[in-house]
Amino acid sequence: MKRIVLCAALMMALYSCSEPKKNSVQQEEGLAKKYEQNFKIGTIFAQPQIEGVDKLSIDIVKKHFNALTAENCMKGEVVQPEQGRFDFSLGDKVVDFARQNNMYMVGHVLVWHSQPPKWIFTDSQGNRVSRDTLIERMKNHITTVVKHFKGKVDAWDVVNEAFEDDGSYRKSPYFEIIGEDFINLAFKFAHEADPEVKLILNDYNVCKPQKCDAIIAKIKELRSSGLQVDYAGMQMHCTMDFPSKNEIETTLKKFEDNNIKLQITEFDLTSIPFPMGNTAEISARADYQEKYDPYKNCLDDDSRAKINSRFKEIFDSFLSHSQNIERVTVWGITDKGSWRLDWPIPGRTDFPTFFYSDGKMKEFLME
């Protein structure tokens, strides 16, 4: 009896799973072309694409995207694993791919509390270094990295995630050792290393009003002290209800009103239950539970429609403010490679990017 019920449930589940629509003729031209009057359409490159093994994703990138960010391989711990030893081997490959395919290349990231050069905050005894030492190390890192990629990277995420949601400074080692002007110094060093390259102050949850205000105030302060900051970067790691349409609109407008151009740097949308509240805080972790993985076996029609309509709601806001948005980058090529599948809970099924795992495009982009 139990088995019959189980079979029936399985049949019903299979029956109600919906198939993604086939790509329409209109999509043959690719997304970058479709939105060329609005903004650049970007995505990221990770190990499987750099090594050339993920052919499906590489084809999608070539066809649909005209901007590229290195997901991990230009981060501090990768490019300077030991003091004075730089490793640009992976970064160079990403940059070569971008150049060969005529893409806008984004460097990610010069100063971030997560994945920094591991040794950078401490001396050989394991004690925290002085302000002067950290400034010197930060300067050397930024200068060497920016100069290495000079002429090949169009824009750098200079400082990432420097603020808390309440608008206060994140108490990162950079902040604690140097003070709040670590941001000023980072922008100064980046500009000195490559006066042509565009510079971004990047963060998540920028739609939180106090955080947004803090970022705007900081960019104004940097500019008024003569420093170059070209864009605020809004990561836009979204959930089904945050940020709301209204919060997005208000935020986009605030930047316009303050003459600060935007890049949407890491857009994605999680549609599975999320136990940690609204955050992209990388240290958050939770254990796997079935209830947090509702689409493990299939995605039903109703949920597919809801996900697409939420995507559309957000993307439409980008479109209607496109005069102030240089680029919209989605943080993942297909759903299969998204960081969301393993954060904050490992091994789940989610639909965060523009393409389903099999390479079919999300329906909202076909309209």
List active site positions.
161, 266
129 counts as binding ligand 9MR under rule CB under 6 A? no
* Cβ at position 160, least distance to ligand 9MR in Å: 6
271 counts as binding ligand 9MR under rule CB under 6 A? no
In the three-class reduction of DSSP (H, G, I as helix; E, B as strand; rest coil), residue 163 is classed as strand
339 counts as binding ligand 9MR under rule CB under 6 A? yes
- The contact pattern for ligand 9MR, residues 159-198, with x = CB under 6 A and - = no contact, is -x--------------------------------------
232 counts as binding ligand 9MR under rule CB under 6 A? no
The whole-angstrom separation of Cα 79 and Cα 85 is 8
Inter-residue contact 75 to 117 (CB < 8 Å) = no
Residue linked to tokens 């920094």: 116
If the CB atoms of residues 20 and 116 are measured against ligand 9MR, the closer one turns out to be 116
- The contact pattern for ligand 9MR, residues 289-328, with x = CB under 6 A and - = no contact, is ----------------------------------------
If the CB atoms of residues 88 and 135 are measured against ligand 9MR, the closer one turns out to be 88
Judged by CB under 6 A, the number of residues near ligand 9MR is 10
Inter-residue contact 173 to 155 (CB < 8 Å) = no
CA distances (Å), origin 342, targets 317, 339, 347, 349: 28, 6, 5, 9
If the CB atoms of residues 27 and 114 are measured against ligand 9MR, the closer one turns out to be 114
282 counts as binding ligand 9MR under rule CB under 6 A? yes
72 counts as binding ligand 9MR under rule CB under 6 A? yes
The whole-angstrom separation of Cα 216 and Cα 258 is 7
DSSP-derived letter for residue 17 is B
CA-nearest of 148, 28, 135, 129 to 88 is 148
Please, which residues have CB within 8 angstroms of residue 177's CB and are 6 or more apart in sequence?
121, 128, 129, 130, 131, 134
Interface with ligand 9MR (CB under 6 A): 71-72, 114-115, 160, 235, 266, 280, 282, 339
